[in-house]
Amino acid sequence: MPLTQAPAKINLYLAVTGRRSDGFHNLVSLVAPLVWGDTLTVEARPSGFTLACDLEGIPLDATNLVLKAAAAFAGATGWTGGAHFTLVKRIPAGAGLGGGSSDAVAALETLNGMAGSPLDGAGLARVAASLGSDCPLFLSKAPVVIRGRGERIEPLPAEAYSRIRGVRIFVFKPAFPIDTPWAYSRLAAEAPRGYVAEPRAEQRLADWVHTPGSPVDGLLQNSLERPAFTKFPAIPLLLERLRIRFGVAARMSGSGSACYALLHENVDVAAIEGVVRETWGMSAFTVETRIA
């Protein structure tokens, strides 16, 4: 039975540049997959798609992105086979870490391999894009720059990639989630104040990409912090504590509520975790990992 990794992601840079006529938002973002994430096992069946998960509360019906991906694959290829998916869920929901999107792409790629690869890279990207804005980036397996609503993907130049590959990351999330549509709607309600002009967004990213040796700490930005911090002041409170006490670069990922801190190799992660739990309580989720 094929076992596929479904990595989490973090947004190292997220500039929302405006709202589109279709209701979505345009953005410029540097997204990095992590070594850590979910796993998906796929068992071939004569027909039909079913899903089991080790985490209680995860929907197991057609609303789950894994089963949506399976249905989209069958529709795009005419494949008549089936599969049973077993999802080991580690990425929390409502976190801005891309868990559902990553699971969907893992299902899509595994089914494509089982069916003899009827979809090429462009075909996989088209089906992935139909599932959600975050899905296509997980096909890359490496940090990428995404634009538009997420469908335009560009790999990082090798030198820029070398500056973030393997960087030590501490991910932490409060007990509450943040709904992605809510975060974008709140940003839109304050337009144009919360948006970043596209030329300025592109220039900041280009300056970092094309300056050899420039640390990623100076690039970090997230337009969606504004609405999240206004409603959930516990998030900026903790991030500021971590910056002051440990000197780490700490930001929110995507629409939240998960955050991350970039760690030097000699940083004591246990001390950082202690401050997280002291501020957010013992229900806070934490994990140490690295950029893939």
Q: Confirm whether 134 is a catalytic residue.
A: yes
Neighbouring residues of 78: CB distance < 8 A, sequence distance ≥ 6:
none
| Contact (Cβ atoms closer than 8 angstroms) between residue 125 and residue 108 | no
Q: For 91, which DSSP code?
A: S
Count other Cβ atoms within 10 Å, centred on residue 63.
8
Using CA atoms, how far apart are residues 104 and 115, in angstroms rounded to an integer? 17
Choice among 103, 134, 141, 231 that is catalytic: 134
Sign of CA dihedral 96, 100, 103, 104: negative
Choice among 9, 68, 89, 173 that is catalytic: 9
| 3-class DSSP state of 207 | helix
In one letter, which amino acid is 33?
P
Secondary element (H or E) of residue 270: helix 269-280
DSSP-assigned beta bridge partners for residue 290: 168
Q: Confirm whether 141 is a catalytic residue.
A: no
Using CA atoms, how far apart are residues 142 and 200, in angstroms rounded to an integer? 25
| 3-class DSSP state of 83 | strand
Using CA atoms, how far apart are residues 92 and 95, in angstroms rounded to an integer? 6
Residues taking part in catalysis? 9, 134
